[in-house]
């Protein structure tokens, strides 16, 4: 396949070399003349495992944008979206928060789109750059013309091991509006590996990319919280603690608890975090992770109360589910009860019903219902026309005359 690259930096070059190595004809352009020097001298000035070996026998065609477009069936765009140094994590956190800088990406995409239009043939363009959700549709697509068939394909790589991460990814992510672009990109990847492919909307792919990185940050922070606590306690080795947690394959090292819904509850979670918050203060922890977890749980529940207030209109409110998890009758630590209490703080009149707690059947009338617990019984409920149903679990299907709001979906 004839493959183009607009951008042959620390991300683009190793990936281009891999595709060149498996037999594709690669045409590459970069605004920096230093990249041409790397291709000509076959020497790379930064450490990138496995890449120097590929450079020795590469056949990448150094090209203009015009040549990349005319020669390529599919064009990758791995242009950087940088922050300035204040946001690279090497200094104290600034008070101001800013988005990535899309100047280079927008300029590169505008140049590429204009050249594609000038040549008059449809071209498949694959953006790799990291962006925040909504960026491609709002900032990039308005720059494009009808000849650009767009796909978003962010990579999950680490600098220094880009070649290996590109050749052996956990999965390949595609955000797409154009089926032709997706199919061509998928065909190309099949020549490199047979890893799983996940297809979704462009915005969902944008969100997956940055959330993936945040998830890693969260894991590292938790491990370092344990390290600090272990240092300040007696007879606790942080590595032994974490190795014990590694064995929790079902609940901890798995997809469990990673779908949207209500906050956690039960007889252990809230009270354990509150107790650990007390311990954090006692041993003078640098940061009280545990208190902030509980604040997050409460603030998210407060936001759900906001949604109820926003959508209820003049309807009475009933929370369906009192239990802290499905198919049980235990209400200890229930986030549904927390939600009721937060609504009542606002002087809202709220009823609750749970088929596993109450000894009567509910009579469904026109109301605003909130699915507080994801009991299977609620799947069979037929809500009266004019009702509003807010569902944080995404379990209630559309019903005639009912405004079903599957939160976040």
pLDDT per position as a tens digit, 362-408:
999 999 999 999 999 999 999 999 999 999 999 999 999 999 999 99
Looking at the domain assignment, is residue 279 inside a domain? no
Task: Based on the fold, state whether residues 303 and 191 are members of the same structural domain.
Answer: no
Task: Based on the fold, state whether residues 82 and 199 are members of the same structural domain.
Answer: yes
Task: Based on the fold, state whether residues 31 and 168 are members of the same structural domain.
Answer: yes
Mean predicted confidence (pLDDT) in 29-50: 92
**Is 108 strand, coil or helix?**
helix
Of the pLDDT bands very low, low, confident and very high (cuts 50, 70, 90), residue 37 is very high
CB neighbour burial string for 17-37, b if at least 16 within 10 angstroms, e if fewer: bbbbbeebbbbbbbeeeebee
CATH of the domain at 401: 3.40.50.720
Looking at the domain assignment, is residue 260 inside a domain? no
The runs of H, that is alpha helices, within 145-201 are 162-167, 179-189
Domain count, the chain: 2
Looking at the domain assignment, is residue 17 inside a domain? yes
Looking at the domain assignment, is residue 274 inside a domain? no
pLDDT of residue 25 exceeding 90, the answer is yes
Task: Based on the fold, state whether residues 14 and 136 are members of the same structural domain.
Answer: yes
Looking at the domain assignment, is residue 268 inside a domain? no
Of the pLDDT bands very low, low, confident and very high (cuts 50, 70, 90), residue 89 is confident
With tokens 């409460």, the residue in question is 298
Task: Based on the fold, state whether residues 191 and 66 are members of the same structural domain.
Answer: yes
Domain of residue 384: give its range.
295-406
Query: How, if at all, do strands 350-353 and 197-200 pair?
Result: unpaired
DSSP state of 284: T
**Is 74 strand, coil or helix?**
strand
Which of 160, 182, 203 corresponds to the end of one domain? 203
The runs of H, that is alpha helices, within 233-288 are 238-246, 269-282
Question: How far is residue 211's CA from residue 127's CA, in Å, rounded to a whole number?
Answer: 18
For residue 199, what are the β-bridge partners? 174
Task: Based on the fold, state whether residues 181 and 323 are members of the same structural domain.
Answer: no
Which of 203, 229, 257 corresponds to the end of one domain? 203
Instruction: Please state the pTM of the whole predicted model.
Output: 0.92
Looking at the domain assignment, is residue 269 inside a domain? no
Of the pLDDT bands very low, low, confident and very high (cuts 50, 70, 90), residue 83 is confident
Task: Based on the fold, state whether residues 176 and 307 are members of the same structural domain.
Answer: no
**Is 320 strand, coil or helix?**
strand
> According to the model, what pLDDT value does residue 84 have?
79
Which of 203, 228, 249 corresponds to the end of one domain? 203
Mean pLDDT of the chain: 95
Task: Based on the fold, state whether residues 300 and 160 are members of the same structural domain.
Answer: no
Task: Based on the fold, state whether residues 185 and 315 are members of the same structural domain.
Answer: no
Chain segment 289-339, per-residue pLDDT in tens: 999 999 999 999 999 999 999 999 999 999 999 999 999 999 999 999 999
Looking at the domain assignment, is residue 272 inside a domain? no
Task: Based on the fold, state whether residues 197 and 343 are members of the same structural domain.
Answer: no
pLDDT of residue 93 exceeding 90, the answer is no
pLDDT of residue 159 exceeding 90, the answer is no
Task: Based on the fold, state whether residues 34 and 149 are members of the same structural domain.
Answer: yes
Task: Based on the fold, state whether residues 62 and 175 are members of the same structural domain.
Answer: yes
Looking at the domain assignment, is residue 255 inside a domain? no
What is the phi/psi pair of residue 288, to 5°?
Answer: -90, 85
Residue pair 167/191 in contact (Cβ under 8 Å)? The answer is: no
């Amino acid at each position: 396949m004839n493959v183009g690259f607009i951008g042959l930096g620390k991300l683009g070059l190793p990936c281009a070399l891999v595709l060149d190595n498996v037999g594709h004809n690669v045409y590459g352009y970069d605004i920096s003349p230093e990249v041409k020097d790397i291709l000509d001298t076959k020497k790379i000035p930064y450490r990138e495992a496995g890449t120097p070996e590929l450079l020795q026998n590469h056949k990448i065609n150094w090209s203009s944008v015009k040549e990349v477009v005319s020669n390529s069936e599919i064009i990758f765009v791995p242009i950087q979206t940088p922050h300035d140094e204040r946001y690279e994590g090497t200094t104290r956190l600034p008070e101001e928060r800013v988005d990535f800088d899309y100047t280079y990406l927008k300029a590169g995409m505008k140049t590429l789109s204009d050249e594609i239009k000038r040549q008059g043939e449809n071209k498949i363009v694959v953006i790799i750059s990291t962006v925040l959700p909504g960026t491609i549709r709002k900032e990039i697509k308005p720059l494009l013309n009808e000849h650009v068939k767009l796909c978003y394909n962010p990579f999950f790589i680490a600098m220094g091991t880009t070649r290996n991460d590109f050749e052996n990814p956990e999965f390949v992510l595609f955000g797409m509006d154009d089926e032709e672009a997706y199919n061509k990109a998928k065909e190309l990847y099949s020549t490199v590996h047979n890893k799983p492919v996940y297809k979704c909307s462009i915005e969902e792919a944008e969100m997956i990319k940055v959330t993936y990185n945040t998830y890693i940050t969260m894991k590292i922070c938790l491990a370092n919280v344990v390290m600090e606590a272990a240092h300040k306690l007696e007879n606790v080795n942080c590595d032994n603690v974490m190795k014990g947690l590694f064995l929790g394959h079902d609940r901890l090292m798995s997809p469990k608890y990673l779908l949207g819904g209500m906050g956690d509850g039960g007889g252990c979670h809230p009270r354990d975090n509150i107790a650990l918050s007390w311990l954090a203060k006692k041993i003078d922890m640098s940061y009280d992770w545990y208190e902030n977890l509980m604040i997050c749980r409460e603030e998210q529940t407060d936001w759900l109360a906001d949604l109820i207030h926003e959508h209820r209109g003049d309807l009475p409110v009933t929370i369906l589910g009192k239990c802290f998890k499905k198919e049980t009758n235990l209400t200890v630590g229930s986030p549904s009860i927390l939600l009721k209490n937060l609504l009542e703080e606002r002087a809202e009149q709220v009823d609750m019903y749970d088929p596993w707690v109450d000894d009567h059947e509910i009579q469904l009338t026109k109301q605003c219902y909130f699915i507080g617990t994801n009991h299977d019984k609620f799947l069979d409920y037929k809500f009266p026309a004019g009702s509003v149903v807010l569902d944080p679990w995404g379990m209630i299907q559309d019903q005639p005359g009912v405004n079903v709001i599957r939160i976040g979906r």
